Amino acid sequence: MPWLERAWSTLDAFLSPPLVIGLSVFSLVTCVVSLVVASWAVRRLPADYLLHEPELARGSQGPSLVLIARNLAGGVLVLLGLVLIPLPGQGVLTILAGLALMDFRGKRRVEHWLMLRPAVFAAINLSRVRAGRPRLALPAPRAGEDGAS
């Protein structure tokens, strides 16, 4: 099958040792940075973070330069995370870090949904306890969310 041989030779030429080493180093660096940033962010949260709605501190003049910069940086991280999904790297963590930086409608609901997954909630509290911070308080289930009718 000549087309398969051509495809293999193209892939073999593309995946040169320097490229593979570079992708591996990039993957390792993004993994470490993602874990450090996520751990730092989780440790900074107040213990009652999941219990209250955030106060909006925006002025009536429109978006500030800081908000615009955060949204741009978050967008870059989301795009980088999408690129990292098929490549070796921490694509999902990078996307989550980008979303955490950004400010958009429904963000709080997405954060709550993700943070209240049992495995994620346990990992967050383990990180907080190791840092000497109190565990996050678990909100009471709303009517209809606990499976009871």
Q: What pLDDT is recorded for position 54? A: 61
Cα dist from 133 to 20, 33, 100, 123, 124, whole Å: 40, 21, 21, 13, 11
Q: What is the pLDDT of residue 148?
A: 46
- Token pair 């930086």 is found at 101
* pLDDT 10s digits, 112-139: 888 888 988 888 899 899 989 999 998 8
CA distance 149 to 147: 7
Whole-number pLDDT of residue 129: 92
Q: What is the pLDDT of residue 149?
A: 41
Pick the closest to residue 139 from 124, 126, 121, 127 (CA basis).
121
**Is residue 20 left, alpha or beta, with left meaning phi > 0 and alpha meaning psi from -120 to 50?**
alpha
Flag residues of the chain having pLDDT under 50. 57, 147-149
State if pTM tops 0.75. Answer: no
